[in-house]
A = this chain, B = another copy of it.
């Protein structure tokens, strides 16, 4: 046995006759021997088909080879391990620590013909794993493989659900448990370390095995970073120090609900008037059809030409100013594609700003009965031009925010200005898109004042995407794609370093006979009052869905829940600032603050909203009571004032009073207690 140490003794490499053990701050990271190797290389060709953001991905694998033999060389700041199998089959692992004391592992295939790597990290059978970006079906990732590829999230996302089957039959759109707009090659282990990978290639993180995590990379190299901490809070601080943190939200966000309205200036005004006169706190109008519409069989679709449609929204510029004086913001919509039949696309094409096909012609993506060109964000001129479109057409108009939609659809057979393959750029695309929006704010000095929200993401979205939303849930109660799914989505994103998350109140996808019920809309509304932003969406087929102005009871419910939300403003603002300062997410898994309670590690449908509120949303239909797990603490029901010491309790949960508890020792006790005065 030959133990070697590096980086202030934080990293040690213990050599055996046929292998090694790599330890980082008492965590075993890698184990290798002839019989139980840790590294494979291989060669394959990705077979990737895309239909409307739904991907079918196969690896036509030609080779997969275990690398058994090793040669270790000590270097200044670590080691170089050369893995060999035969003359032309070998790879090198560089082990080092950086100035922050992070462990860095870099694997590189020595022959370029090998474009696959499998690395097995050591694991303990009882480790839990969190993160992987935004995961809707599982919070603890242990026990399953998680392919990481930004795409549509799927409709239904569970092969045993009928909606999924229908969506699969129609457009291969049903999805599966790992489909997500926002994957990220980052995970946190309950051994209290994070592991983050720098690459953007297709990856598959397989947490199925008891004694290892197998990370597969569809590239000839991979860089892994590890950092440890004594607490999860400290660990998240370190992770967000690496990846970046979100700014604080504009102050107006806390002043009410953002109403998703379509149909033109007058419709917006009428609905706004109705809601405000009924006591609903409204902070803005979000009109995604500000640039016009087209009808498709999917429903009404926005016209992707990103300029104010004067016909549909007459006098919008003046109205935006009037509304602003009344404390009502106007939010619009944009995405990184331009409709092939409209003038913005023509301009982009003329300037050579669209991505290309194999014949060097402009690539047009089919988006469901219409086509759109892809702005080549790797071309600095195209990027700047599109940033200019945002500045001029959205910010100058007076938009206080917008949905920066899409980002997941970069086809892998398109060709980019920067010469990098679209397969490698695919996952990076949402971040380029976020950065383009972010810089438009930055360069107009609107950061912290104007807000855009995205569904697509990847590493870097932490810094550039000012707010995430959960994408397109079904307007139903399903665990994998309904209201419930938003909770693990927020928590897994929190463990991946993005701490700002909200969702379409009522969900979005209205297909295959689904219709949003009044109860679903009301439950979703009350849940959203305990997230950092409240925003409604009509759904893709508004007429099939119950809406916020569906009846007076619904409006009264919105009045109540927005009053609660706005009353919580100072508390939420404080939580958001902790996220901005320290990377402490606004919606947090319980185990972050109750790490000694093993049960908290298994909860995926409860969360802490800031430090002091425990929220257990009702995500089933027809429920009048709900069972909640409280970790040991002094808890007070926010609606009844009843006290609880911890454990599993069942409480009455009429609509408008979701299970929410606050800590007795909170400095916000008076504020919390005041919520009981708000009329039901």
Question: Contact partner of A165 among B86, B89, B165, CB < 8 A?
Answer: B165
| Alpha-carbon distance A85/B86, docked complex (angstroms) | 8
Of the candidates B40, B63, B66, B165, the one whose C-beta lies within 8 Å of that of A66 is B63
Give A82-141 interface residues, CB cut-off 8 Å to B. 85-87, 89
Contact residues in B for A89 (Cβ distance below 8 Å): 86
Residues of B within 8 A of A168 (CB): 159-160
- Nearest residue (CB) in B for A85 is B86
A351 at interface, CB cutoff 8 A: no
**Residue from B64, B85, B86, B87 in contact with A42 in the complex, judged by beta carbons closer than 8 Å:** B64
Q: How far is the CB of A158 from chain B (nearest CB, A)?
A: 10
Mark interface residues in A53-79 (1 if CB within 8 Å of B CB, else 0): 000000001111110000000000000
Chain A, 139-162, contact with B by CB distance < 8 Å: what is the 0/1 string?
A: 000000000000000000001101
The distance from the CB of A197 to the nearest CB of chain B, in whole angstroms, is 22
* Least distance between A56 CB and chain B CB atoms (Å): 13
A651 to B: closest C-beta gap in Å: 34
Interfacial chain B residues near A87, Cβ < 8 Å: 86
For A42, the closest partner residue in chain B by CB is B64
A1 contacts partner chain B, Cβ-Cβ < 8 Å: no
> Which residue of chain B is the closest to A84 with respect to CB atoms?
B86
Contact A63 B62, CB 8 Å, known A85-B86, A165-B165, A168-B159:
no
Complexed CA–CA distance, A159 and B170 (Å): 12
List, in ascending order, chain B residues with CB within 8 A of A64's CB: 42, 61-65
Q: Which residues of B contact A40 (CB under 8 A)?
A: 62-63
Selected from B63, B160, B165, the residue in CB contact (under 8 A) with A65 is: B63
Q: Tell me if A169 is interfacial: C-beta within 8 Å of chain B.
A: yes
Shortest CB distance A575–B (Å): 42
Complex Cα–Cα for A473 and B537 (A): 47
Cα separation A162 to B160 with both chains bound (whole Å): 12
Q: List 22 A–B pairs whose Cβ atoms lie within 8 Å, in order of A's numbering.
A: A40-B62, A40-B63, A42-B64, A61-B61, A61-B64, A62-B64, A62-B66, A63-B64, A63-B65, A63-B66, A64-B64, A64-B65, A65-B65, A85-B86, A86-B86, A86-B87, A86-B89, A159-B168, A160-B168, A160-B169, A162-B165, A165-B165
A85 to B65: give the CA distance in the assembly, Å.
Answer: 11
Name the distance in Å between A358's Cβ and chain B's nearest Cβ: 19
Residues of A at the B interface (CB closer than 8 Å) are 40, 42, 61-66, 85-87, 89, 159-160, 162, 165, 168-169
The residue on B at minimum CB distance from A118 is B62
Residues of B within 8 A of A61 (CB): 61, 64
Q: How far is the CA of A165 from the CA of B40 in the complex (A)?
A: 37
Which of A86, A89, A168 gathers most chain B CB within 10 Å? Answer: A86
Task: Report the minimum CB–CB distance from A172 to chain B (whole Å).
Answer: 10
CB distance from A216 to the nearest CB of B (A): 12
A512 to chain B, nearest CB (A): 13
Rounded to whole angstroms, the CA-CA distance of A86 and B159 in the bound complex is 44
Residue in chain B with minimal CB distance to A165 = B165
- Give 4 closest A-B pairs by Cβ, nearest first: A86-B86, A165-B165, A64-B64, A160-B169
Interfacial chain B residues near A160, Cβ < 8 Å: 168-169
Q: How far is the CA of A98 from the CA of B495 in the complex (A)?
A: 66
Q: A63-B64, A159-B168 are in contact. List 13 more A-B contacts (CB 8 A).
A: A40-B62, A42-B64, A62-B64, A62-B66, A63-B65, A63-B66, A64-B64, A64-B65, A65-B65, A86-B87, A86-B89, A160-B168, A160-B169
Q: What's the least CB distance linking A132 to chain B, in Å?
A: 22
- The complex places the Cα of A65 from the Cα of B159 at a distance, in Å, of 34
Interchain nearest-CB distance for A38 vs B (Å): 13
Q: How far is the CB of A34 from chain B (nearest CB, A)?
A: 11
Residues of B within 8 A of A66 (CB): 62-63
Shortest distance between the CB of A479 and any CB in chain B (Å): 15
Q: Which residues in B have their C-beta under 8 angstroms from that of A162? A: 165
CA distance A160 to B159 in the complex (A): 12
**Nearest CB of chain B from residue A525's CB, rounded to whole Å:** 33
User: In the complex, A169→B42 CA distance in Å?
Assistant: 36
Expressed in whole angstroms, the minimum distance between the Cβ of A240 and any Cβ of chain B is 36
The chain B residue sitting closest to A170, CB to CB, is B160
CA A159 to CA B169, docked complex, whole Å: 8
A64's nearest neighbour on chain B, judged by CB, is B64
Could you say which residues of chain B place their CB within 8 Å of the CB of A42?
A: 64
A62 to B214: give the CA distance in the assembly, Å: 12
Residues of chain B lying within 8 A (CB to CB) of residue A85: 86
Bound together, the chains give a CA A89 to CA B473 distance in angstroms of: 50
A504–B75 Cα distance when bound, in Å, is 74
Q: Which of A64, A89, A169 has the largest number of chain B CB atoms within 10 A? A: A64
A61 (CB) vs chain B CBs: closest residue: B64
A218 to chain B, nearest CB (A): 15
What is the bound-complex CA distance between A565 and B488, given in angstroms?
65
| Shortest CB distance A47–B (Å) | 11
Considering the chains assembled together, what is the distance between the CA atoms of A64 and B114 in angstroms?
A: 13
Complex CA–CA separation, A89 to B88 (angstroms): 13
Q: How near does chain B come to A211, taking the closest CB pair, in angstroms?
A: 14
Q: Which residue on B lies nearest to A160, using beta carbons?
A: B169
A655 to B157, CA, bound (A): 45
A102 CB, min distance to chain B CBs, angstroms:
31
Least CB separation from A43: chain B residue: B66
* Closest beta carbon of chain B to A513's beta carbon, Å: 14
For A87, the closest partner residue in chain B by CB is B86
A161 to chain B, nearest CB (A): 9
Distance in angstroms from A212 CB to nearest chain B CB is 13
